[in-house]
Structure 1
Amino acid sequence: MNNEDGSILIGDIRIYPFMEEQHFIQLFKEPLREDNYSGVKMLNQPVLISGLFFWFTAVFKEDTLKGINLSNADKNLQNSYADWSNERNRLKRLSHDTWLEEQLGKPYEKTATAIIFKRSWGEVTSYTDMKGGGVEISLYYK
């Protein structure tokens, strides 16, 4: 993740703030699916970003990229309703926090449930959803 402009490299593809939705679709074609909610595009396979494999979701509004959600794709950190582990959640969150600090430096704020980075181009949060139990990184462009 580029600390200067908020762009992300997936292989040789650069994802950047306010990228046009059609351009994104053209770049990924096959490994892409759309959620029932309009404007959300998900890659079907984990992608390598700066040394870590993530599940990648792009959020578009008015045909431009407004946000990205990332979740560590390590199979050893995956939870399900049938096989839930608070320890796996803790380790996944730790991996997110550590990765972000390596990419972006010192966070703006740390709480028990989130670590927040504020930049001129947007905000990045690694968080634990206390209701749903999920752990994710969310990036939203200004």
Structure 2
Amino acid sequence: MRHPNDNGFNERRKTAIEAKKQLLAKFAAAPKPTDPEMQAQLAAREATAKAREERRAEREGLKRAENERQMAEAAEAAAAAEASERAEAEARQAEVNDRVARVVADEAARKAERDRRYAARKARQG
């Protein structure tokens, strides 16, 4: 049994030729690069690309400035922490030195007292 849409070779060939003609007509009707409309579209694309590039450069500048600000803050914080650490170390060292000085002074006082007692004993004996 034959299908009703079963076209013969010649009919398929004519259909293909007609499709090619329509495709060529479509491309022939397309605007050329020299048309004012195409020139306007191209100019609009270029302006958009330029604006996009300017916004990107501005964002990068802002990011760079923010990064530099954060680096400066971090450097200030590190310097403050270092100064605080140094002050604490100096305070601890001063406390140790004070304690050592008191121990030496106490030891000297004890020795002086011992020497005084020894001298008093010698004076009583002789």
TM over 0.5: no
- The normalised TM-score by structure 1 is 0.16
| Structure exhibiting the larger radius of gyration computed from Cα positions | 2
Relative to total residues, which structure has the larger strand share, 1 or 2? 1
Higher relative contact order, structure no. (Cα contacts within 8 Å, ≥ 6 residues apart)? 1
- The normalised TM-score by structure 2 is 0.18
